[in-house]
Amino acid sequence: MAIENKKRTQADAEGSTSKKPRTNVDSSAPSASTSAPRPVPSFTSALREEETDFPRGGGSTLTPLELKQTRAEGRKEAEEEAQAEAASKGGNQKKRQVSERQVKRMKKNVGDKIKEERDKDSIRVEILNYKRLVPGTHVLARVHTVLPLHLILSLPNNLLAHVPITEISTTLTNLLNAEEAAMSISDKSNAEDDEEKEEDDESSMAPDLAQLFVPGQYVPVKVVTLYPTASQSFISQYPVTETLRLAARVEVTLVPEKVNSEVAKKDLEKGYLLVGEVKSEEDKGWTIGVGISDEDGTISVEGFVSKEEVEQYVPSKTLIPGQLLPSTIKSLTAGGRVVQLSLDPLELSRNIVGEVSTVESIVPGHCVSALITAVVPSGLNVKVCGFFDGTIDIAHLPLGEADVESKYKIGKKIRARIIYDNLATTPRQFALSALPHVLAFSSPTKEGEDVPLEHAINLGKVYQSVKVTRVLPDWGVMCRTSDGLDGFVHISHLADERVAVLSNSTGQYKTGTLHRARVIGHSPLDGVLLFSFEQKVLDQLFMQVNELKIGQVLKGTIRRLTDKSLFVDVLGSVDGIVFPTHYADIRLKHPEKRFRPGASVKARVLSLEPARNRVVLTLKKALVESQLEVPGTFADLKVGQVTPASVIKIVEKGCVVELFGGLKAFMPLSESSQTFVKNLNDIFFVGKPINVRILEITPETERIVVSAKQAAATAPATAAEKLQVGDAVNGVVSQIHEEQVVVKLEPSQLTALLSLSNLSNQRHMGIDELRSTLKVGEKIDDLVVVSKNPASGLVIVNLKRTPTGVTTKKTKTKDEKKDEAASGISRNVKAIDAIQPGQFITGTVIENTAQGTMIQLPGSIRGRVHPCDATDDLSVISAGKAPLKVDQEVKCYVLNVNKQKRAIDLSTRPSRVDSDNANAVVDKEIETVAGLKQGQAIRGLVKNVSSHGVFVSLGRNVTARIMIKELFDEFVKDWESRFEVNQLVSGKILSIDTKRNSVEMTLRKNPSKAAKKVAKLGLADFVEGQKVVAEVRKVEAYGMFLRIEGSDVSGLCHKSEISDHKKQDVSQALKGFREGDQVKAKIISIDTEKKKVNFGIKASYFGEEFAGDEDDDEEEKEDDDEEADEDEEDGQDGEDEEVDEDDEDVEMDGSDEDDEEEDEDDDDEDVQEESDDDVEVEVASAPVTKKAAKAKTAPASALDVAGGFDWSGQAPASASESSDSEAESDEEGPSTSAAKSAKGKGKSRAITDLTSTAPEARPESTAEFERALLASPNSSFLWIQYMSFHLQLHEVEKARKIGRQALEKISYREEEEKLNVWMALVNLELGFGTTDSAEKIFKEAAQYNDARTVYMRYVEALQAAGKEDGVIEEVFKKIVKKFSAYPESWTRFADFYLKKGDVDAARALLPRSMKSLDKSKHVETIEKMALLEFKHGDAERAKTLFEGLVDRFPKRLDLWGVYIDQLAKISDVQGVRGLVDRALDQKLTSKKAKFLFKKWLMIEQRIGDAQGQEKAKTRAKDWVLANTKTEEAEESDEE
């Protein structure tokens, strides 16, 4: 008798607390039936107290025994009814026959009814698929693949999903945003800010995903989005594979705030599993964000993990911010607001969630004890936490081949882990997994092994027989391999044809059938292999790129041909691609005629690209059919190996070839052919197949050098491969040299070397006698190979030693014969193996050389005694004479034995040989650089004298260099004659570089004498106005810091103290100074309280030293008096520049106004306070560096760097400077030229100071230039002078070579210096070369330097060289096309047109420029265009442009000032007066008004009249009175 159960809602389940106890049937009650009452069970069910009125899910509350008794009662009643019916119809025999069939039928019907009743009450077990996934579903996932910006996750039931890097954790997202912001800021900041920010950025750098995750890691996720096909933002970032295509359909999130958002705070108790994110590191541990917050969104619970936990359970002993951390709650503190977490992996896998208050607190990953409520063919129905329904599909039960109904019984409990929730039901149901690896949070493995299944079984493996163990209708079949591994075959992979319906009755795939299968994937979370039964998959040659081998020959079918490649189907799941250079051995003009879709081709694997899941093939017949060994990787290469290759690039000095495996190698020109080849294009073309021999391999840089010459069948190296050391050969003498004989071996015709000494010993005659008797063509037998070079094919042979010789007086013993080498090499040669370092040995002196003394040792072995190892007192050695005499027998100490080079280093120092009787050691033995100290006094022997200095041997392996300036205290011109080899010198160690094994030494007696003399000087020793020699310590935008030589006194030289001309742009000059440069400076002021010094380096401060005209200086002083007020304005250019260390205390000529007024208009733009002379548009001049400025004022043979070059010796100013000087000749006068001349001489003197050995005057010979360049190799000024020196001698080619040499010698950091040399080469070609050569140098310069600067300087050079306007115009057109974002490009072009007279073309550039330039640069461009109109065009049009500017920007006083100056230049005094009146109508500060009145008065004095001057003064007084009253009124109001 079944008890009827009904489903209840979640509200009923939570609200009902009453229990209805089950009562026994009263025996005294009247029975409604005549049948006997049902017997009472012999035991009491454990579920009686938990019985409810309406059990959830339609399940039964009966125990298995009660259910069995109920079924037995039903069968008994059915049998009784059948017997009664049979008795009423007839006799006993008929009754017996009918009752047997009826009983069977009735039994079957009863069983079916019970089964139907059971299935009716059970929950359907469903398989998870993409259709059932909905946003918000929580799933347990396993990390499948870690990509740079995404994770690919494995979901239950063979599904895949992806996670963007921004959905990992909130902390990681914040780090990424901070890193992106820092990068954008660093792009805009200068180099100094970058250095400071790099240190800050290191701490805020976001970690890579590979640092946070590993494949196989389990994580709970929440579904965010499902795509109909694929997420394009994800799949477009990586090469498309089947895995990526499937994962692109589902996007999930790992952020704890989203995954754990529904967890109830009251359900957090000890053992509860949580996955949080590492937020920050504290003193005693790390703060963990668990993502549990209140309803208002505030964080209510935070996690904390101690450092002891991390050190115990985390292999790296630390945590990374943004990392996801699975943990269990150890305890709750702070009233439940902080949970202490444990990282014990055993607790993570074993803790079981018992009770929860709400279904949302159960999260995928939780382990529960589930009660089985129903067993169905597709799995189990279970109860979770006593209340909630769940299912376990058959794929997540560890059944093997067992039946689910026989292994699992209703009422039993099993451990299972939640893998996802089903939001489609109310309340939500759960899917669980009972697989062992899911319960243990581990990877599935083969039985008896620890290797994860996805690593143990490779894709593409073929199983000849797998057994179908279970059929899952309409989904697939479960199968098992012969080695006990479970697999799954989806319905789509059962056969090549589509299987419409799959059920248990499908005969071909029913349980127990055997099939041939191939592994096509892994489902790590389900713990199964993914198989395919399809015949087309089984026939594939490979499943992934890694299964192929480089050099493997394949047959394929052409799929399609594009312009850039040919795609070939090679019966695999990857793409085969052929690039055009590998279509054939020759070039194909029409490949479409040869390659048609569907045609078969024979290809060979050239390289593999696993990341793009494709294989690169070659169709070249020479490569496909080559039998030579091909390398797979760089490690497979061997020197001497011959391998096929193809030419991919031809350069001037050789060609680049491609080897198999994607390796690139370089083939020098000398190794390209056995005959002389001038142009490689004559014998090679891109794509030509060739065989090459590996000559050189550099593993550090993966550099490969090959040779086609030595790969030929007739090449020496090829023939030498057949020879082995010790082989007996014959040969013919082909050449006779001083010490060797060149022998042609027979029959290989290889070239071999035979030592004359070896031949003379065998023939028992002297070398001279042998050389005179030996003839070319003479045949020599009994030769033996003793050495060979596999790369070059060089062979060295010796004559075999005869068994008995003429000088042999006794027969050799047996032991001596055994010791004789099989090749004929004497045992004495082998005696070197018996000599060991530290051994004492006696020998005879046979020769003294500059490199040392040669000692003849026993056994025909020679050793060498280095001069520094010959004696303890180096003064014994003098002018190459060694202390050992020829034929003297000496005792030696073995220092080193080099068996490869067969060299022995010996020592005859008494301290080594006879330490007991040795005298005091005067010169200690120096073995390594580490034995030296800086400042140490030491003696050594001159090893070599070169043009760069002297090299001194301090020991056998230690050589010191003495630079020219460190040789003498005074200048010595012919210093080389004072030194000779093995001369004894004494000096001190200057510097030691242990990494480079180099030592710097000095022979100067008092190298620091001057420094000691000035070292005591302090601030009190200097006075204002004193002229000193200073060294540049630091260069800033506002000036440079100088330090007085020989003291610690340093101060600032402000940029206003650099040049006498206020209009000059000193910023470029500042860039030309480098730290360490020497300058002459004048002390302007000394502040003894603050201990600060201000310097000046103006040329006027050193007028008498620069041979300047005194009258010019006086004129400059008068000009200074006139412009004293303007200095106040110029000093304010640096208002906004902050000076570090507060070192700039530069006093400006004061303004009478208070500082408060200066702060009123801080937001306004700085006013350009300039006189009428100061407004100048340098549209035709390029920035000139310090070195370029030197070139402009150099002596007669100097070359102009910025503009055109006068190679005759006189360097005129550039075109722009000449035009400006003409326009402003009245204002500048002779003082300007005097200042320029003074600058030029000052720069020349600075260059002279750079080398202590250079003469005082300019270099006048090659030797002097080389000496000066040795001291200053980075000076473009010197290099260009050197080029000019050769041009004056009509040696143009040498000048070119000097320019190229300069580019190699100048440091790569000196970009401006290199640029100057490049432009010198360009000017050289313009003056002495051809148009093509100049164009070639120009393009090369643009490639190696800033292209815009080169273009601007090039167009200047063309103008200076007087080239045609058409050529210059074409260059300008390229400039405005390439560099349209720079105003200078347009203004320089317009200046060219205006000077040319093409006014319309110049004016057409302005609207074009407005379209290309940024809006912030429009005002600057329009202003410069207007100035050009004033200078070369129409003044009225210029006024129109300026009127538009002042109307749009009335507060820009700099625009008013420039406009007024231009009107003054054209003597339009009325226009000036009108403009000033309009400007004064604006609301101005006192400073700005003072500027306007001063400018007005100066213009009236110059081009106006007395009435105008009086009007200006009157207007100024009125303005001051009016504004003073206004200020007083405002002050009274405030009071």
What are the tens digits of pLDDT across the range 506-547?
678 888 888 999 988 888 888 888 999 988 888 877 777 777
pLDDT of 799 > 70? The answer is: yes
Q: Which of 561, 539, 542 is nearest to 552 (CA)?
A: 542
The predicted pLDDT at position 1215 comes to: 36
The predicted pLDDT at position 143 comes to: 93
Contact 1190, 1277 (CB under 8 A): yes
The predicted pLDDT at position 572 comes to: 65
Higher-scoring residue by pLDDT: 139, 1438: 139
**Interatomic CA distance for residues 394 and 472, integer angstroms:** 9
**Interatomic CA distance for residues 695 and 703, integer angstroms:** 11
pLDDT of 1126 > 50? The answer is: no
Contact 113, 129 (CB under 8 A): no
Q: Which two tokens stand for residue 1433?
A: 């065009």
**Interatomic CA distance for residues 62 and 59, integer angstroms:** 9
pLDDT tier, 881 (very low <50, low <70, confident <90, very high otherwise): low
The predicted pLDDT at position 45 comes to: 38
User: What is residue 835's three-state secondary structure?
Assistant: coil
Burial-class residue 617 by CB neighbours within 10 Å (0-12, 13-18, 19+).
buried
pLDDT of 218 > 90? The answer is: yes
Q: Which of 1448, 1451, 1449, 1446 is nearest to 1463 (CA)?
A: 1446
pLDDT tier, 619 (very low <50, low <70, confident <90, very high otherwise): very high
Q: Which two tokens stand for residue 1339?
A: 């393009």
pLDDT tier, 1113 (very low <50, low <70, confident <90, very high otherwise): very low
E strands present in 899-1049: 903-907, 937-946, 949-953, 959-963, 984-993, 998-1002, 1027-1036, 1039-1044
pLDDT of 977 > 50? The answer is: yes
pLDDT tier, 251 (very low <50, low <70, confident <90, very high otherwise): very high
**Interatomic CA distance for residues 1306 and 786, integer angstroms:** 48
**Interatomic CA distance for residues 1338 and 1318, integer angstroms:** 8
| Percent over 90 (pLDDT), the chain | 13
Q: DSSP class of residue 301?
A: -
pLDDT of 5 > 80? The answer is: no
The predicted pLDDT at position 352 comes to: 86
The predicted pLDDT at position 1426 comes to: 86
Residue for token digits 């003849």? 856
Amino acid identity for residue 358 in this structure: T
The predicted pLDDT at position 1471 comes to: 83
pLDDT of 353 > 50? The answer is: yes
* Least trusted range by pLDDT, from 116-125, 233-242, 742-751: 116-125
pLDDT of 1104 > 80? The answer is: no
1009-1044 burial: b if 16+ Cβ within 10 Å, else e? eeeeeeeebebeebeeeeebebbbebebebbbbbbb
The predicted pLDDT at position 1406 comes to: 86
The predicted pLDDT at position 579 comes to: 92
In this prediction, residues 800-825 reach a mean pLDDT of 44
**Interatomic CA distance for residues 316 and 312, integer angstroms:** 10
In this prediction, residues 284-312 reach a mean pLDDT of 85
pLDDT tier, 306 (very low <50, low <70, confident <90, very high otherwise): very high
Helix axis angle for 1418-1432 and 1435-1448, nearest 10°, is 160
pLDDT tier, 88 (very low <50, low <70, confident <90, very high otherwise): low
H helix runs in 354-491, sequence order: 404-407, 436-439, 453-456
Q: DSSP class of residue 924?
A: -
**Interatomic CA distance for residues 946 and 938, integer angstroms:** 21
pLDDT tier, 658 (very low <50, low <70, confident <90, very high otherwise): very high
Higher-scoring residue by pLDDT: 672, 1123: 672
The predicted pLDDT at position 610 comes to: 79
* Least trusted range by pLDDT, from 312-321, 367-376, 710-719, 1049-1058: 710-719
| Percent over 70 (pLDDT), the chain | 76
* Tens digits of residue pLDDT in 146-183: 998 999 999 998 899 999 999 999 999 998 888 888 87
pLDDT of 1002 > 70? The answer is: yes
**Interatomic CA distance for residues 671 and 92, integer angstroms:** 114
Residues 6+ apart with CB under 8 A from 1469: 1499, 1500, 1503, 1504, 1508
The predicted pLDDT at position 10 comes to: 40
**pTM of the predicted model as reported, rounded to 2 decimal places:** 0.44
**Interatomic CA distance for residues 1144 and 1055, integer angstroms:** 10
* Tens digits of residue pLDDT in 23-48: 333 333 333 333 334 443 433 333 33
* Tens digits of residue pLDDT in 695-722: 889 888 889 999 988 887 655 555 566 6
The predicted pLDDT at position 90 comes to: 53
pLDDT of 223 > 90? The answer is: yes
Higher-scoring residue by pLDDT: 102, 1020: 1020
pLDDT tier, 782 (very low <50, low <70, confident <90, very high otherwise): confident
* Tens digits of residue pLDDT in 1136-1149: 333 343 333 333 33
pLDDT of 308 > 80? The answer is: yes
Residues comprising the chain, all counted: 1535
Q: What single string gives the DSSP state of each residue in 1305-1319? A: HS-TT-HHHHHHHHH
Q: What are phi and psi of 376, to 5 degrees?
A: -120, 165
The predicted pLDDT at position 1250 comes to: 37
Summary mean pLDDT of the chain: 76
* Tens digits of residue pLDDT in 1177-1222: 333 333 333 333 333 333 333 343 334 454 444 333 333 333 333 3
